[in-house]
Amino acid sequence: MRAVVQRVSQAQVAVDEVCLGKIDCGFVVLLGIHQEDTIDDAHYLAKKIAQLRVFEDHEGKMNESLATIGGAVLSISQFTLYAQTKKGNRPSFIAAARPEVAEPLYEAFNQALREKNIPVATGKFGAEMQVSLINDGPVTILYDTREKE
């Protein structure tokens, strides 16, 4: 799984001009699922993001996590994170998981965050979505479960 995690002061997602999910302080997570990803990847990534300490403490240091600040996640499925761009000008998405594999793993990732008491808002899997956010910092972190260290 690949995740682009952006610290935000607010964010929302709409489909056909209808707001489906909205958060205040927290993370927007753009989540791409690889064809070989498993439930273990979903749980690993949820744990890493839930414990990510990039919110400022009372001394102005990035030392707080979502739980300590009462933050939330706006989770957006995004297969384009697995675009292959080495050849030509049209990206290939062959490495991205098919929807019948990706959607259950996306839901498992969201559920794993909820089980850690992190509120999660979502868009609609596979839909054309409009995501708007106010990036705070900006702070943007990249995760790839294929590169665990």
Distance CA 28, CA 131 (A): 9
Q: With pLDDT > 70 as the criterion, what percentage of the chain qualifies?
A: 99
Distance CA 71, CA 68 (A): 8
**Phi, psi of 5, rounded to the nearest 5 degrees:** -110, 120
Would you kindly state where each structural domain of the chain is located, as residue ranges?
2-147
Contact 2, 133 (CB under 8 A): no
Across the chain, mean pLDDT equals 96
- Which of 41-50, 87-96, 139-148 has maximum average pLDDT? 41-50
Residues 6+ apart with CB under 8 A from 53: 62, 63, 64, 65
Which of the following is catalytic: 55, 79, 109, 122? 79
Could you tell me whether strands 26-32 and 72-77 are parallel, antiparallel, or unpaired per DSSP bridges? Answer: parallel
Catalytic residue among 35, 80, 130, 140: 80
Has 122 been annotated as catalytic?
Answer: no
Q: What is the pLDDT of residue 106?
A: 98
- What mean pLDDT do residues 136-148 have? 94
What number is the average pLDDT over the span 18-43?
Answer: 97
Q: What is the pLDDT of residue 74?
A: 98
Summarize the confidence of residues 24-37 as an average pLDDT: 97
Q: By the 8 A CB rule, do 28 and 131 touch?
A: yes
- Using the predicted structure, report yes or no on whether residue 61 has a pLDDT greater than 70: yes
- Residue 143 belongs to what H/E stretch? strand 130-144
CB 63 within 8 A of CB 16: no
> In terms of DSSP bridges, do strands 2-15 and 26-32 run parallel, antiparallel, or are they unpaired?
antiparallel
* Angstrom distance (rounded) from CA 102 to CA 146: 16
Which CATH code for domain 2-147? Answer: 3.50.80.10
pLDDT of residue 149: 63
pLDDT score of 100 more than 90: yes
Provide the pLDDT for residue 73: 98
> Is 78 one of the catalytic residues?
yes
pLDDT of residue 148: 77
38 catalytic, yes or no? Answer: no
